[in-house]
A and B are shown apart, each in its own frame.
Chain A
Amino acid sequence: MILLVVTGVGLGALYFLAASGLSLIYGLMGVLNFAHGAFMVAGAYAGWLTMRGLPASLSVGTRLAAAMAAAVVVGAAIGLVVEVALIRPLYRHHIQQVLVTVGLSLAAVAAVQGVWGSDAHPLEKPAWLASTTEVAGAHLPHDRFLFIAAAGLLFVGLKALLRFTRLGLVIRAGVENRTMVEALGINVQRTFSVVFSIGGAAAGLAGLLGGVYANSVSPGQGGALLIFAFIVVVIGGMGSLTGTAVAAVAVGLVQQLANYYAASGVGDLSVVLLLAVVLLLRPATMQGAH
C-alpha cells in the first residue's frame, strides 16, 4: 500500500508539473494551450541533448541537474516566443488559438522526429535515482521522491509568487477579472508573457522528468502527458493552483490503485471516469475563471 501511495503521489507530482502552467495560462488568459505538450517535448529533448553533450567525466547526477536547468530554460524561452509570436495576435479569437496551438503541437512532434528520429532515446539516471529504499517492506523508487520534491518546490514557489509579489497580485486579479485589471491601467499583456514563460518552464521540467520516469525521451511523450494534464486542470478547477495540485495527486493515486487492484490499463479508464463524475457533480468546473 505504501508503495502504491508513493508511486501514485509521484505520478501525481509529474501531472502537477505538466498541469500547473496549463492551469495558470487558462485561468489568466483563457487560452487552452494544446501546444503545452510541445513545451514538454522541447524540455525533454533539451535535457537529453544537454546530458549527451556534457563530458562523460561529469557524474550522471551533475549532468542530470544541468539537464533539468536546460529543460526549464528552454521551456521558458519557447513559452515566451509562442506567446509573443503566435498567441498575442489571437487573444480574442479562441477558435484560431486552438487551431494554432494544435498545429504547433503536431509540427513540433514532426520536427523532433525529423531531426532526431521517431524512436525513443534512453535517458541516463544516476544509480541512486534508479534504486529504491525499503520502508515497511515496500521498495520505494527514489525517482518518485525527485518528482514529488520538484512538484513541491514548484507549488511553493508559485504560491509564494502569487501571494507575495506584485506580479502575483496582478495574476490573481487577472484570473478573477482581466478586463477590470486593464481598466485600472495595468498592462496585463506583460503579465501574460511572464505566465506563459512560467508555464513553459514547468512544462519543460515535466517533460524531462517524464523522460526520467520512462527512462527515455520520445517525440510522442508530450501528447500522452498532456491528456492527463488537461484532465487534472479540469478536475482541479481551471485557474486554481491548489485545485490543480489536489487533482493531480488524486488522478495519480486513482490511476495507480486501479491498475493494481483491478487490472493493468484500468487506471487510465478510472481517471476518465473520475473526470466524468466531477463534471456531473460540478459542471461549472469547465468554466473556470471564464
Chain B
Amino acid sequence: MTPGPVLSVGQLHVRYGGSHVLQGISFEVPATGVTALLGRNGVGKTTTLKAILGLAPRTGQIRLDGADITGWSVARTAREGVGYVPEDREVFGGLTVEENLRLVGGDVGTDAPIVAELFPDLVNRRAQRAGTLSGGQQQMVALARVLLRDNRLLLVDEPTKGLAPKLVTEVADVLARVAETTPVLLVEQNLPLVRRIADTVVVLDAGQVVHRGSAPDLVADQELTQELLGVAMRREVRG
C-alpha cells in the first residue's frame, strides 16, 4: 500500500502588509523522496517553506502526517519533526561548530555517527567559530545540525546557492542520502541538481501552483521548463 503524503498543504495564503504572496496554494509532499518546489525568483517558494514552519503569517490548512499543524508554534512544529535548513544557512556565527550542533543534539555534536559519516570536515573544525567558516562549510553545519534530530520532513531552501561546483555536488550527495530515509521539500534553482535528486516537482508562479508532476518529466521537457521557469535545461549536470 502506498503511504499517504507526509505533508498536505491546502489553500495556503500568506499576506505581508498589502502584498498577497501566496494565493491559496495546495500541494502534497509524498512520504518518500525529494519534492522540488520550483519557480522564478520572487514567486513565493521561500515564503512557502516559512509558512509551513510557522515563520510567515498564514491562513489555510497544513497537515503533517494527517495532523493539522496550522496553529502550532514554530518550535513545536520543529520538535514534532519538521527540520528546516534556511536559504542563508543562518548558522550561529559566534558559536563553535560543536556548539551549533549541540544546540540541537544536546549531548551529541560532532561525535554523532551521522556527522562523521556525512560531514567529516566538521569533525576537524569542531572548535572553530561557525562565522569564520566558508559558505560551503556553513551549509554543512546547517544540514548537520538539523539531521541530529529525527525528522519526519525536511524543508531545505536553496542549499547550493552561492556554492562552488564541487560543493554543489557534495551537498547533492548529502541530500540524496538523507532522502533515502526522510522526505525532503527542496527549494532549488539548480535544475541539474533537481534532475539528479528530485522525484516530484511543484511549480509556483505569482503565488499560485501552476504545475505538479514528475521531476524527470519536467526537466526532460525543454519547452515546459522554459515556459514555467524561464530557463532551458542544460545537458550537462553542473558539478
Contact = CB atoms under 8 A, between A and B. Distances in A.
Contact of B75 (A172, A173, A186): A186
A185 interface: yes
A173 B95 contact: yes
Interface residues of B, number: 23
Interface stretch (A48-56, A175-183, A222-230): A175-183
A284 to B, nearest CB: 16
A187 interface: yes
A188 B78 CA distance: 13
A185 B94 CA distance: 20
Contacts of B84: 183-184
Interface string A117-151: 00000000000000000000000000000000000
Q: A interface, how many residues as a size bin?
A: 10 to 19
A169 B86 CA distance: 20
Given A185-B78, A185-B79, A180 B86 contact: yes
B104 A185 contact: yes
Interface in B84-115: 84, 86, 90, 92-95, 99, 102-104, 106
B93 A184 contact: no
B172 interface: no
A57 B94 CA distance: 52
A184 B146 contact: yes
Interface string A159-177: 0000000100110110011
A169 B105 CA distance: 12
Contacts of A186: 75, 103-104
A183 B78 CA distance: 6
A23 to B, nearest CB: 15
Contacts of A177: 90, 92
Given A169-B102, A169-B103, A182 B75 contact: yes
Nearest to A188: B75
Nearest to B53: A183
A187 B90 contact: no
A185 B103 CA distance: 10
Contacts of B75: 182-183, 185-188
A170 B103 CA distance: 7
A94 to B, nearest CB: 17
Contacts of A188: 75
Contacts of B94: 172, 176
B55 interface: yes
Nearest to B106: A166
Given A183-B74, A186-B75, 10 more contacts: A169-B95, A169-B103, A172-B92, A173-B103, A180-B86, A181-B103, A184-B78, A184-B146, A185-B76, A187-B75
23 contacts: A166-B102, A166-B106, A169-B95, A169-B99, A169-B103, A172-B92, A172-B94, A173-B99, A176-B94, A179-B74, A180-B86, A180-B92, A181-B103, A183-B53, A183-B55, A183-B78, A183-B84, A184-B104, A184-B145, A184-B146, A185-B78, A185-B104, A187-B75
